[in-house]
Every structure is written in structure tokens, then in C-alpha cells.
Amino acid sequence: DLSGRPGLEWHVPFTAGQIGGFDTQLAHEFFQGFVNHAQLTLHIDNLKGTNAHHQCETIFKAFARALRMALAHDARSAGAIPSTKGIL
């Protein structure tokens, strides 16, 4: 939600505390910092996975795809504000 209200819902039970030398808690810290500075609300749920490397990889990839879709120009909007409340 690109609303100007930062918030992070994080439901990612990593199966390991480290991926090589990478502390998996840093993934949460990255997204918390991102939502705080971008002023957006983000929900991240890892529904499946037993390999921490793959969990982290899919979280970042899904986030990137969702962000690209959210920021893409939609020709159907014809200049209208893309918001249910009428403001961004």
C-alpha cells in the first residue's frame, strides 16, 4: 500500500539463522528500513519452504515483482488517481 503510512507485517519463520555469512534477521531489517523510508505498508508471508536460502530468495523476488506491478503505469486509469480513497 503506497499510502504514506509505513508498516510491515512480517511472517517469515526462517529455518536457519544464517545463510552462509548472512544473518537472516537482516532481511527483516532491510524491509523495515525500506517501508519506513518509502512510507508504504508491506505484508510479507513465507507460506512454504524448508531451505533458508530459498526462503530469502523468494521473499526478495516476490517483493520486487509486486513493487514493479504497483508502480507500473496503467493506461486504463486515464489520468485518474489510482487509489480507493482518491489520494496518494
**Max Cα distance, the chain (Å):** 48
pLDDT at 82 over 70: no
| Grid coordinates belonging to 71 | 508502480
pLDDT at 80 over 90: no
Query: Any idea where the domains of the chain sit in the sequence?
Result: 7-77
Q: What is the pLDDT of residue 39?
A: 94
The helix or strand, by DSSP H or E, that contains position 8, with its residue range, turns out to be strand 7-11
- Homologous superfamily of domain range 7-77: Imidazole glycerol phosphate dehydratase; domain 1 (3.30.230.40)
- Position 1 confidence tier, pLDDT thresholds 50, 70, 90: confident
- pLDDT tens per residue, range 23-74: 999 999 999 999 999 999 999 999 998 999 999 999 999 999 999 988 888 7
| Grid coordinates belonging to 12 | 517469515
44 CB neighbour count, 10 Å cutoff: 18
52 CB neighbour count, 10 Å cutoff: 19
